[in-house]
Amino acid sequence: MKRAADKSITGNFLSDILYEKGLITEEQLERILKIQKDTNRDLQKVIIDLDILKKDEMMLALADEIGEKYVNLNDITIDPTIVVLIPEEMARRHQLIAIDKDEKKLTIAMANPLDVFAHDELKIRLGYDIESVLSYGKDIDKALDLVFGVTDEWDQVIGKIENMQITVLKEEERERPDISAITESEEAPVISLVNLVILRAVKEKASDIHIEPFGEDTLKVRYRIDGILHDVMSLPRKLQLSVVSRIKIMSDLDIAEKRLPQDGRIQVNIAGRNINIRVSILPAVTGESAVLRILDPSSILLELDSLGFSPDILPDYLSLIKKPNGIILVTGPTGSGKSTTLYTTLNLLNSTEKKIMTIEDPVEYRLKGISQVQAKPKIGLTFAAGLRSFLRQDPDIMLVGEIRDKETAEIAVQAALTGHIVLSTLHTNDAPSSVIRLIDMGIEPFLISSSVVGIIAQRLVRTICLKCKKKIKITSDVKKILDEYEIDSNELILYKGEGCPYCKETGYKGRIAIFELMVITDNIRDLISKNVTTGKLRETAIKEGMCQLREDGIKKVCEGLTTIEEVLRVASA
């Protein structure tokens, strides 16, 4: 029979139960209570640490007393999509986690299933009938950490900050920090907090850090890992000014300016590695938000086949970049890996026999032996101005960060026609669309057909986690897709990630690129000169051997690198 709902199941109530059931002696009881009082530690943890009882013995006795089922969270697989149905703040406040659901009922593992107030709040906020089970509190915290990503370090730093008066850091703290060794000093805990945010992002291979105010009481920290945003921490809203000010100071921005967007850069050293961080501050209705793009130079020194170039695409791309002149465009949306492809290409082409120059905004990675220029539009150093100056520097290969306007495009065409290789990017959805984009900028079709030698479109797909990779059955829907590409599914083995702590229960770890390479053949050159539609260009390019994005993705599915669902997520038919 259940005890009164207002009782705590973690204090004397628990020790009384264990003593009454004969599981602990009077001497052990006195020892447990004394240690608990002296250290203010959780009573359950004290009992387990002293090895007086095993966890399951203690929890089963407690479950029997309060009339609840006990579930050991370490013995079950928890679906993170169910966990996030309950807001992190609420889950941690009541020490509970959602572990199962159906259409009407949500099953909650709770450290204190007798908490009727938590039951009522869950039912009102979520609209489900609530079924509770008992679980060990530390196991609940650990399971929440796997989904939301909080560590003990966070709790220690946050505790110090919340108990202190936070002030904006002084101007003399503008030095470039080495955060390989974190100190949580009482003098400047906000420095430790921001350092921890950056350190953990680098450790988890996040590409971006988002620090955003939500509502009146929450400052949310999220990491973009493998292209997907994950909640990491909810900070007290009162820390927003201090955290954003610290980031501004680190990136040499104006901490007094809160009305206009600002862009800056941070350079840090972590365990001997130099990491560049691009900072964007944006004033929103709820306050300033900060996005930090992490640029790790070690991530670009790759071979082209390591990026995801298939054996049937790589030879064509290598032949393009070895041409004596012409424009090679890399296209795709923001965050699709265009810069990585271009830097890896430059790294491959780099030699003492060639002069390579780049103009970028910003210069994301520093490459030895290459002259790199930072564009500064405010003083007139635009992409077009930089390219024009490059032509007087006798280069062999030039890279322009992006072709954004007619002037830049015209100079790139001029450079290609006078014997230079020009590498650049465009924001288009596929390779054939890039031709129409250049025409829309005002470039004559005959100039495009004469100068552009190849266009490559790309996307990034998540790769299956190797720790939890398993074979799956091929469904009729998947077979239908494979049949479209004339792939025999009878002897094909497909894989999927089950989800594990290593991949944060997502089933994916890491990313690889899928590509679409359109080589400008004579037939395509004739069509460009005639200013035909994108559809006609695409149709001809496919006949000429172009492998489309989705097709390349399906090939990687067949190789066991990713899943059909992931390819369909990033690449349309």
CA–CA separation, 332 and 572 (whole Å): 13
The pLDDT value recorded for residue 153 is: 52
What angle is formed at CA 515 by the lines to CA 373 and CA 292, rounded to 5 degrees? 45
Tokens describing residue 386:
């930089």
Question: Which residues make Cβ contacts (< 8 Å) with residue 7, sequence separation at least 6?
Answer: 13, 114
Q: How far is CA 9 from the centre of its chain?
A: 39
Indicate whether this model's pTM tops 0.95: no
Instruction: Check if the beta carbon of residue 147 is closer than 8 Å to that of residue 104.
Output: no
The pLDDT value recorded for residue 524 is: 95
Select from 511, 346, 516, 512 the least CA-distant residue to 428: 516
**Per-residue confidence in pLDDT tens, the chain, 573 aa:** 344 334 445 556 666 777 777 777 777 777 777 777 766 666 777 777 777 778 888 888 888 878 889 999 888 877 766 887 888 888 888 999 999 888 788 999 998 888 888 888 888 888 888 999 999 888 898 888 776 655 555 555 555 554 544 333 333 443 444 444 333 343 356 777 888 888 888 888 899 999 999 877 778 899 999 888 888 887 777 788 888 998 999 888 998 899 999 998 888 877 667 788 899 999 988 889 999 999 877 666 567 778 889 888 999 999 999 999 999 999 998 888 898 899 999 988 998 999 999 998 878 778 888 999 988 888 999 989 999 999 899 999 999 999 999 999 999 999 999 999 999 999 899 999 999 999 999 999 999 999 999 999 999 999 999 989 999 999 988 999 898 888 888 889 999 998 887 887 889 999 999 999 999 999 999 999 999 999 999 999 999 999 999 999 999 999 999 999 999 999 875
Question: Which residues make Cβ contacts (< 8 Å) with residue 460, sequence separation at least 6?
Answer: 227, 335, 336, 337, 511, 512, 513, 514, 570
Select from 117, 120, 113 the least CA-distant residue to 97: 113
Tell me the one-letter amino acid at 450: S
3-state secondary structure string, 323-345?
Answer: CCCEEEEEECCCCCCHHHHHHHH
Select from 110, 68, 69 the least CA-distant residue to 86: 110
The pLDDT value recorded for residue 522 is: 94
User: Strand locations in 465-552, DSSP E?
Assistant: 469-472, 494-497, 508-519
The string of DSSP letters for 39-63 reads H---HHHHHHHTTSS-HHHHHHHHH
